[in-house]
Amino acid sequence: MTLSRSSGVLLHPTSLPGPYGIGELGIHATYFIDWLASARQRYWQVMPLGPTGYGDSPYQAFSAFAGNPYLVSLDDLRAEGLLQASDFDAIPDFSSDRVDFGLQYIWRNQMLDRAYAHFEGELLEGSHPLQQDFLRFQQEEAAWLDDYALFTAIKATQGGLPWNAWPAPLRGRDPETMTQMRASLQRDILRVSFHQFLFFRQWRAVREYAHQKGIAVIGDIPIFVAMDSSDAWARPEQFLFDESGQPTVVAGVPPDYFSETGQLWGNPLYRWDAMQADHFAWWIERVKSSLSLFDVIRIDHFRGFAAYWEIPFPAETAVHGRWVPAPGHELFEAIRSALGQLNIIAEDLGVVTPDVEALRDDFELPGMAVLQFAFGGGDFSVNAFLPENLKVNQVVYTGTHDNDTTRGWWVNAEESEKHAYRTYTHSDPSEENFAWALTNMAFHSRPNLAVVPLQDLLNLGSSERMNLPGTTGPQNWTWRYRSEVLTPALAAQLRTLTEASGRLNPS
């Protein structure tokens, strides 16, 4: 895939403003798209949209296919009659600028359950206008929806325990037990499916609105699935599990820029021989599903398709592991044969070896560059992330969701990094103007696509970063902006930079 010269903004939908404590797929999503269009941007980049669990990370979802019901716009449901005014009589205090996921888990699920109850009640009285759409959704998405809805319904009966802690008949999907559970949990299964219907319906409407404004959406899928996911539960033969459903090895990365002890993600690792035996059918469906939601997909931790860091289970850190080869060429060839052109961005950060580069380049996938990494190390003049060392078919970022904000990075940078930047640019930026200085560098660099997190456009400090890798602190994934910060003046400033750097969206 070769991208045209363009630019975009990274913002996860949970960070949108709104009255109910978390960003939603309603009016503020369309406001953001309008603002992007006024700044003549081409892309809106989001993180994974799956249903989150413990730790609230979008990279650890209960399903590789499902959507996050927390994002469903409640005001849109009220406008459609799926919620009544009385349903909003007891709204919690949502005055905090941060997402309280614990509160969302309780209150929002109650609101969505009420929406299903209203829908269910109208069905009993006669045909609801959405009935046929809901039935069609269930049929079209049955390949993943049936397992996910059953998984979620059973999980509720087990007090939220992970599936590999369930009783053996549930953990091992005993056929007779599954038949009994589908019968006894029928209403709960339908309710979960309806929540998914609401999410997909609203997301597709938001994406269609973006297309009308000339904005394409870059989505994100993690290379691995969560241990506690319907995918791992429903397809254990595709993962390295023992007979009791425990992983024998788990995923992570060795010590690196982010952590001296590496990152112990804990995701189960794929049984690649089993996936290869059925011609990577699950992966093809996963990418196909993602391309129905996004225009371009960023695959997180792309290097794991060449070789992945295998850590024996259990472990306390990721230090003791080994690199294991993966059949990346065979996988992407199968995906390309099934789906055609690969609209994929390869997140090729970290330990990038020749085999990773070959896999990326053989399929003409744009890789990534982060300018915050450009001024560290020994001889910074040979740093691969310096602008003159970047490639045309690449995506350049000031930072990502895992980095500090650019302003925060400058404040906390080593003096050697600051010296390298000053030497390279012949300038001495202040804390107040550094984020825009690096954004200017990104936009004027060689790569065809430049993406900047909204925090950097707003010149925010470290307290507003999205995530600190290797931690599960209360600040992770909770950042939101206030609607008044997206001003016409800021859009004009971004539009001017976009035009000056030859990235203006013709739409």
- From the candidates 76, 141, 188, 300, give the one annotated as an active-site residue: 300
Task: Tell me whether residue 347 is one of the annotated catalytic residues.
Answer: yes
Q: How far apart are CA 207 and CA 197, in angstroms?
A: 15
Best CA proximity match to 405, nearest among 472, 475, 463, 487: 463
Question: Helix, strand, or coil here: 307?
Answer: strand
Of 402, 417, 456, 464, the catalytic one is 402
The CA-based diameter of the chain, rounded to the nearest angstrom, is 74
C-alpha–C-alpha distance, residues 410 and 430, integer Å: 9
Burial code (b: 16+ CB inside 10 Å, e: under 16) for 157-169 equals eeeeebbbebeee
Burial 207-236 (b: 16+ CB within 10 A, else e): beebeebebbbbbbbbbbbbbbbbbbbbbb
352/357 Cα distance (integer angstroms): 7
Whether 300 is a known active-site residue: answer yes
Q: Active site residue: 56, 147, 347, 404, which one?
A: 347
Pairing of β 296-300 and β 307-312: unpaired
How many C-beta atoms lie closer than 10 Å to residue 86's C-beta? 8
Identify the CA nearest to 389 among candidates 402, 403, 370. Answer: 370
Instruction: Report DSSP state, residue 63.
Output: -
Residue 296's beta-bridge partner residues? 218
The torsion angles phi and psi of 248, rounded to 5 degrees, stand at -90, -30
Q: Which residues fall within 8 angstroms of residue 422, CB to CB, at 6 or more apart?
A: 428
Neighbours of 140 (CB within 10 A): 11
Residue 480's contacts (CB-CB under 8 Å, 6 or more residues apart) are 14, 15, 16, 17, 22, 23, 97, 98, 99
- Ordered DSSP codes for 74-137: HHHHHHHTSS-GGGGTT-----SSS--HHHIIIIIHHHHHHHHHHHHHHHHHS--TTHHHHHHH
Spatial distance between the Cα atoms of 55 and 462, rounded to a whole number of angstroms: 20
Rounded (10°) angle between helices 281-291 and 328-339: 50
Can 147 be counted among the known catalytic residues? Answer: no
Contact status, residue 313 vs residue 249, Cβ threshold 8 Å: yes
Rg (CA), the chain: 23
Cβ proximity of 228 and 162 under 8 Å = yes
With tokens 């949108």, the residue in question is 16
Q: Give me the active site residues, please.
A: 300, 347, 402
